[in-house]
Amino acid sequence: MENYENAEGLEMSWATAAIGFADRHWELLTGLPEVKKMRVTSADAELYAAFRAAFPDLTVGVIDEEQMKSKEGKAKWRAFLDGFVKRYVEDDYNFGTLLRVDSRGKYEETNTTLVPRGQFYVIEIARNLEGFNDEV
């Protein structure tokens, strides 16, 4: 079996892009007077409705990483992302993105997890609309 490794430059490029995206998101969250009005995508309403239909009981304030990243959780999220979100954020819906685990905290090593960008989008849309990002 061949051993595949990412080139160090590729990993550094990904990390730089992910941190830059997180920094821009944090600047928006902390700089806007009314986060509920912040648009994450051009299809926030559709994405939110589909997200809540697929995940009606998911609490977005504090993410349960174990549940989300369990075999069942991954399968449910993958079906949702591939079946719906992909239509709205086609270019980068699967790009690795940092997500704050606890919406009350900032981006730091102990409060982030890696998710596909489509998952980040729908969770942050829900956090905005449901008031979880108001505390930031």
Number of domains in the chain: 1
Question: What is the pLDDT confidence band of residue 136, given thresholds at 50, 70 and 90?
Answer: confident
- Contact in structure between 120 and 18 (CB atoms under 8 Å): no
- What pLDDT is stored for residue 10 in this prediction? 66
Which residues constitute the domain of residue 29?
8-135
Supply the CATH number for residue 85's domain: 1.10.3560.10
Q: What's the Rg (C-alpha) of the chain?
A: 15
Question: What is the pLDDT confidence band of residue 38, given thresholds at 50, 70 and 90?
Answer: confident
| Burial class of 9 by CB neighbour count within 10 A (0 to 12, 13 to 18, 19+) | exposed
- At position 21, the amino acid (one-letter code) is F
Of 133, 93, 132, nearest to 116 by C-alpha is: 93
Q: Per-residue DSSP letters for 19-30?
A: HHHHHHHHHHHH
Q: Is the pLDDT of residue 39 over 90?
A: no
Is residue 69 one of the residues assigned to a domain? yes
Q: Regarding beta strands 112-116 and 96-100, do their DSSP bridges make them parallel or antiparallel, or are they unpaired?
A: antiparallel
Q: Give the whole-angstrom CA distance, residue 121 versus residue 118.
A: 5
**pLDDT tens digit string along 79-128?**
998 877 777 766 676 788 999 999 999 999 999 999 988 899 999 999 99
Q: Which residues contact 7 (CB under 8 A, 6 or more apart)?
A: none
Is residue 34 one of the residues assigned to a domain? yes
Is residue 3 one of the residues assigned to a domain? no
Least confident of 11-15, 56-60, 132-136: 11-15
Question: What is the pLDDT confidence band of residue 73, given thresholds at 50, 70 and 90?
Answer: very high
Is residue 2 one of the residues assigned to a domain? no
Is residue 1 one of the residues assigned to a domain? no
pTM comes to 0.84
- What pLDDT is stored for residue 5 in this prediction? 61
Is residue 31 one of the residues assigned to a domain? yes
DSSP 93: T
For residue 85, the cross-strand partners are none
Is residue 46 one of the residues assigned to a domain? yes
Is residue 71 one of the residues assigned to a domain? yes
